[in-house]
Amino acid sequence: MASRPKVHHFEVSRAIEMIARRRKKVDDLHRDRLPDSPLADPREVLDYLRKHSGPSIPRWVLQADVCDALTLNNHLWWEDRRRELHFLKAGRDRGLFLAQIGSQVGVGKQGVIDRIDRLEALLRYDRPDEKISRTERQAQRAARDRRPTEQAWLAEHHEELLALVSDMLHQASRYELPDDDREWLDELRIDAGAEDLTPATMVILGLASAELRTSRAVLALESTRPHAVHHVLSRADALRSAFADLGSREPKGPS
């Protein structure tokens, strides 16, 4: 099973911002209770959406909220994995018996060791704050040799990624996304135009997918069958998941 796409901190801020922006446009009587700071706790935002998503909220807003809520939920899932690994290793390093640690998570002594190994493999390429500004991406390209496995994957999927970006841009034009709603689609176009893709490109791919997926025109499509734009978004999700899965599939080297 493929790993969940990793979530950059900017994706979290963007999701919160977009939820707040949509709720401001409609008659949400409880909007004053919505945590709308980019630094808000995603859990509080999710709790708000669970509580205040009744029939008075337009359907397109509720649909877009689900997409952004799942981004926030993915972020929290990865945070939980990081937090668990930290405290499992902290308990071991601070002299607790493995049986004591295991009793807290429902496994035995060997289970604790296996759990630490699995989490370390899962998080091996974990960089939730991947640099995504244009100048930072240029610097990252100069340091690409430090990440041979990821670069090999990007090289192998180079043509597939370029074709995907072209299809995403075509769909954005087809549904006439306004300039204000395609910031990351435009950044993705710049990366693809340079034909020099980096791990940060995969983060931008997620942000661009969110712009397309939560656009009002795409959400308004008749939902009894998938449209071409949905197939394009599915391809993007599959590639992001495959990229996220690199760390858990690579054999662990000698310590």
Instruction: Give residue 1's pLDDT band: very low, low, confident or very high (50, 70, 90).
Output: very low
Give pTM, 2 decimals: 0.66
**Contact call for residues 13 and 210 (beta carbons, < 8 A):** no
Q: pLDDT > 90: what percent of the chain?
A: 56
Residue type, 31: R
> CA nearest 212: which of 239, 174, 244, 160?
174
**Number of Cβ atoms within 10 Å of the Cβ of 236:** 24
What is the C-alpha radius of gyration for the chain, rounded to an integer number of angstroms?
Answer: 20
- pLDDT tens-digit profile of 153-171? 999 999 999 999 999 999 9
Lowest mean pLDDT among 183-187, 195-199, 213-217: 195-199
- pLDDT tens-digit profile of 31-86? 999 998 888 999 999 999 999 999 999 999 999 999 999 999 999 999 999 999 99
Written as six digits, the tokens of 8 are 């950059």
pLDDT at 247: 62
> Each residue of 146-159: b (16+ CB within 10 Å) or e?
ebeebbebbeebee
Listed in sequence order, the residues at least 6 apart from 213 whose beta carbon sits closer than 8 Å to its beta carbon are 67, 233
**Contact call for residues 7 and 244 (beta carbons, < 8 A):** no
